[in-house]
A and B are shown apart, each in its own frame.
Chain A
Amino acid sequence: MSKRLTVLGLAASVMASSLIMAAPQAAAQESVYVPLFTYRTGPFAGSGIPIADGMHDYLQMLNERDGGIGGVKIALDECETGYDTKKGLECYDAVKPKNPVMVNPWSTGISLSLIPKASVDKIPVLSMAYGLSASARGDIFPWVFNPPATYWDGLAMIIRYIGTESGGLDKLKGKKIGYIYFDGGFGKEPIPLFEQMAKEMGFELKLYPVPPGEMQNQSSQWLSVRRDRPDFMVMYGWGAMNPTAIKEAVKINYPMDKFVSIWWPGENDINGTEGAKGFKMLNWHGIGTDYPALKDIQKLVVDKGLSKSPKEKVGELLYNRGVYNAILIAEGIAQAQKITGKKVVDGSDVRRGLENINLDEARFKAIGLPGFAGNLQLTCKDHNGHRAAFIQQWDGAKWVKMTEFIEPLPEKVKPALDEAAKEYGEKNAGWPKRSEACDKS
């Protein structure tokens, strides 16, 4: 027995010493650590999986094709949050000691919890087109970024589109607009602006919250829609909520061309639903694989078995949304390297890099994604860009772009955003004034 214990002890010490020997070697290999908070399990996996794949595959492709960014490998890491704020915070605590250059929470709830930590831990939070709308104010939230548009911009674009459909924004007076939303941080986010717009433009707003536990049990909400007969329905849904809402809308014969969603439904949410033709949603980027960078992903990542995505899913709407998120990550790191002259950058450097993102037509072409999305320039003061999006419509088999880019309503959004940012600072006593210097762009 004691002999066996001695052997085991020896084996353990050999393993431990080999680990200690390996540690400096790993540290010596130059890399930037990018954790991705993802959810491939649970009720939100339907939305989470393609996004996780898109993010991972683009960054992996950079590793395979270019050896990383600026000659430095990207150390990719996934942490499963299940879209649960508690688990998201556990992920954050797990990745923090590994010096991440940024975190991508992929949940408004997790983002809200990380905002106060970002400036303390010097880890930028990139919440792409989600999270706290007011965090677009770089002078108040120097460590938080939410490009290319806030949920408030999204709402403004939808209202603007609905206005155009009705013959002008002034024609919205007396109309009834229903809002069906995920009854959590994300869905509640645009309500203050929605209520304000309803007051100013004279339309009636009807709210239909869907509790998280009832995402697949929405018949009451849609019965209320049938009773109230809104002229238009707006949806902010996620995960299992989206396909159920679309099915229920079809069930009550709600006119699908009057049903407009924020940018989160994907093909999986609607494909195969009879009667869903005509459903509309916002989007700001390309779909499909007809871009050199996407072809590289297929060749260097998917075909080599380095992706978790089935080949036919590459290029789908939410997959490409993940790719867009990864572009922002890569650009933030590249800009940080350019500004600081360092190859291995840290969170503070990448914060500066993100503030200097300038994705114009030429840059999109240079990274192998010509015409993939509209220009985006972030600044020290503007961490969002408030970029325009377009409306696309489901034709029964695929999404079809049906409008040009619709600008948000800055005259409505900006004052509300400023007020919300100010309020956030007041509510969180001791919210620090920005001390980080701005780079000259």
Chain B
Amino acid sequence: MDILFKILIDPFLQMGAMPDLFVQTIWDGFVTGVLYALIALGFVLIFKASGVFNFAQGIMVVFAGLTLVGLYEMGLPAPLAVLVTLGVMFVLALAIERVVLRPLVNQPDIILFMATFGITYFLIGLGELIFGGNPKQMITDQLFLPRGAIEVKMLGGFVQFQKIDIAAAVIAVVMIVALAVFFQKTRIGRALRAVADSHKAALSVGISLNQIWVIVWFTAGIVALVTGIMWGARSDVSFGLQVIALKALPVLILGGFTSVPGAIVGGLIIGIGEKLGEFYWGPLVGGGIESWLAYCIALGFLLFRPQGLFGDKIIERI
């Protein structure tokens, strides 16, 4: 009986007793969710255009962050370092298309998936070779990102909003809107959607798959850079970040592999869900449940919507 009380009643009593902490948990979950959504977005972009599950998205986040800080440490001014990093990500996209994707065209998806493992280990090695294994501090001030926190007194306590978290949320929203406009309103965006719908049909109307792949991988590289900057500012830019990127997996399970809105909503559900779970229910089992709770949340949703949040219901007639 006691255990049922602790699971079903006590957490809600705690939410009522300390509403400021409840709001704080939701906010922390929201920010984490936004960052998960950004990572998931990188996966979705590539999956939509090429049907490849890009395992290397996590290391792309680390590589982009390390390149930025590394270039700054080499003496480049921060804005120039950002531009050069974007250039590096473009060259990377070009190289991946030429060296990995083009020779493997028409191969089964699993081969392309395994190829992204190869890209992952290549980028780990290259990153460590060039920048070393030491974690680096993100150049927050030089990028004009805010520091400090805003404390708002509310609900009998206070809620703290880190300025960098607010900036992360704003930048993520701008990024998502920009991507949406790019997909919906531009010629290249329409071509991308055509490729996502059908490679053959896209080819038949003269869309170059190779060009599209470069654009998509480059866009995923831009997303990776933004994620690297934001997450790096919260802790450090280290190779540990690539593990966090795997948190995008439950987000994708939940939101669907091809849905941009799915990545965003899925990210927020996972982010907020895992923070609430860890904070209110974690102590019941000794804490540290975040790493697997995200998958439980995703699986729970799938029981009711097997096609994911925004996926189409698949009806097969026999």
- A211 x B288 contact (CB < 8 A): yes
Contacts of B305 in A (CB 8 A): none
- A274 x B236 contact (CB < 8 A): no
- B279 x A223 contact (CB < 8 A): yes
- A49 x B275 contact (CB < 8 A): no
Q: Mark contacts of A239-260 with chain B using CB atoms, 8 A cut-off: 1 yes-contact digit, 0 otherwise.
A: 1100110010001100000000
* CB proximity of B205 to chain A, nearest CB, Å: 44
Residue B102 lies at the interface, judged by CB distance under 8 Å to chain A = no
- B286 x A42 contact (CB < 8 A): no
- A211 x B290 contact (CB < 8 A): yes
**Which residue in B24, B32, B241, B287 is a CB contact (below 8 Å) of A207?**
B287
Within 8 A of A (CB), among B220-274: 231, 234-236, 238-241, 243-244, 246-247, 274
Q: Mark contacts of B276-306 with chain A using CB atoms, 8 A cut-off: 1 yes-contact digit, 0 otherwise.
A: 0011001100111011000000000000000
- A220 x B282 contact (CB < 8 A): yes
Q: Mark contacts of B17-34 with chain A using CB atoms, 8 A cut-off: 1 yes-contact digit, 0 otherwise.
A: 010010011001000100
- A216 x B291 contact (CB < 8 A): no
Cα-based distance from A219 to B164 in the complex (angstroms): 14
Cα-based distance from A39 to B128 in the complex (angstroms): 12
- A240 x B240 contact (CB < 8 A): yes
Cα-based distance from A45 to B239 in the complex (angstroms): 9
Residue A364 lies at the interface, judged by CB distance under 8 Å to chain B = no
Cα-based distance from A128 to B124 in the complex (angstroms): 30
Among B131-139, B173-181, B185-193, the one that faces the other chain is: B131-139
**Which residue in A40, A210, A216, A251 is a CB contact (below 8 Å) of B236?**
A216
Cα-based distance from A215 to B243 in the complex (angstroms): 9
Cα-based distance from A254 to B137 in the complex (angstroms): 22
> With A216-B231, A219-B275, A220-B282 in contact, is A45–B134 under 8 Å at CB?
yes
Contacts of B238 in A (CB 8 A): 43, 45-46, 216, 240
Residue A227 lies at the interface, judged by CB distance under 8 Å to chain B = yes
Residue A86 lies at the interface, judged by CB distance under 8 Å to chain B = no
Contacts of B239 in A (CB 8 A): 41-43, 45
- B241 x A216 contact (CB < 8 A): yes
Cα-based distance from A43 to B134 in the complex (angstroms): 9
Within 8 A of B (CB), among A199-246: 207-217, 219-221, 223-224, 226-227, 239-240, 243-244
- B291 x A214 contact (CB < 8 A): yes
- A216 x B240 contact (CB < 8 A): yes
- B134 x A46 contact (CB < 8 A): yes
Cα-based distance from A217 to B288 in the complex (angstroms): 11
Q: Mark contacts of B141-156 with chain A using CB atoms, 8 A cut-off: 1 yes-contact digit, 0 otherwise.
A: 0000001010000000
* CB proximity of B269 to chain A, nearest CB, Å: 16
- B149 x A220 contact (CB < 8 A): no
Residue B160 lies at the interface, judged by CB distance under 8 Å to chain A = yes
Residue B162 lies at the interface, judged by CB distance under 8 Å to chain A = yes
- A41 x B290 contact (CB < 8 A): no
Contacts of A45 in B (CB 8 A): 128, 132-135, 238-239
Select the residue from A219, A243, A251 with max chain B CB neighbours within 10 A. A219
Residue A377 lies at the interface, judged by CB distance under 8 Å to chain B = no
**Which residue in B162, B235, B278 is a CB contact (below 8 Å) of A243?**
B235
- B135 x A220 contact (CB < 8 A): no
Residue A183 lies at the interface, judged by CB distance under 8 Å to chain B = yes
Cα-based distance from A183 to B291 in the complex (angstroms): 11
Cα-based distance from A59 to B305 in the complex (angstroms): 61
- B28 x A223 contact (CB < 8 A): yes
- A240 x B135 contact (CB < 8 A): yes
Contacts of B240 in A (CB 8 A): 42-43, 215-216, 239-240
- B133 x A42 contact (CB < 8 A): yes
- A41 x B133 contact (CB < 8 A): yes
Residue A48 lies at the interface, judged by CB distance under 8 Å to chain B = yes
- B134 x A268 contact (CB < 8 A): yes
- B133 x A40 contact (CB < 8 A): yes
* CB proximity of B79 to chain A, nearest CB, Å: 21
Q: Mark contacts of A281-311 with chain B using CB atoms, 8 A cut-off: 1 yes-contact digit, 0 otherwise.
A: 0000000000000000000000000000000
Contacts of B231 in A (CB 8 A): 216
* CB proximity of B255 to chain A, nearest CB, Å: 19
Residue A272 lies at the interface, judged by CB distance under 8 Å to chain B = yes
- A213 x B147 contact (CB < 8 A): no
**Which residue in A207, A215, A268 is a CB contact (below 8 Å) of B286?**
A207
**Which residue in A41, A208, A209, A217 is a CB contact (below 8 Å) of B32?**
A217
Select the residue from A39, A210, A215, A223 with max chain B CB neighbours within 10 A. A223
- B134 x A221 contact (CB < 8 A): no
Contacts of A208 in B (CB 8 A): 287
**Which residue in B18, B149, B244, B275 is a CB contact (below 8 Å) of A213?**
B244
- B235 x A240 contact (CB < 8 A): yes
* CB proximity of A107 to chain B, nearest CB, Å: 16
Cα-based distance from A217 to B275 in the complex (angstroms): 10
Contacts of B137 in A (CB 8 A): 272
Contacts of B132 in A (CB 8 A): 40, 45, 49
* CB proximity of B268 to chain A, nearest CB, Å: 15
* CB proximity of A40 to chain B, nearest CB, Å: 5
- B21 x A223 contact (CB < 8 A): yes
Cα-based distance from A41 to B247 in the complex (angstroms): 21
* CB proximity of A245 to chain B, nearest CB, Å: 9
Within 8 A of A (CB), among B154-171: 160, 162
* CB proximity of B165 to chain A, nearest CB, Å: 9
Contacts of B18 in A (CB 8 A): 227
Cα-based distance from A311 to B82 in the complex (angstroms): 29
- A224 x B134 contact (CB < 8 A): no
Cα-based distance from A251 to B28 in the complex (angstroms): 12
- B275 x A41 contact (CB < 8 A): no
A216 nearest CB neighbor, chain B only: B235
Contacts of B162 in A (CB 8 A): 251
Can you list 17 A-B contacts (CB < 8 A)? A39-B133, A40-B132, A40-B133, A43-B238, A45-B133, A45-B135, A46-B238, A49-B134, A215-B240, A223-B21, A223-B275, A224-B287, A243-B236, A244-B235, A247-B235, A251-B160, A251-B162
Across chains A and B, which 10 residue pairs bring their CB atoms closest together, nearest first? A45-B133, A43-B240, A209-B288, A220-B278, A240-B240, A216-B235, A244-B235, A211-B291, A46-B135, A219-B28
What would 13 more interface pairs be, CB under 8 Å, given A40-B132, A240-B135? A41-B124, A41-B128, A45-B238, A49-B134, A208-B287, A213-B246, A214-B244, A220-B278, A220-B290, A239-B240, A243-B135, A244-B234, A251-B160
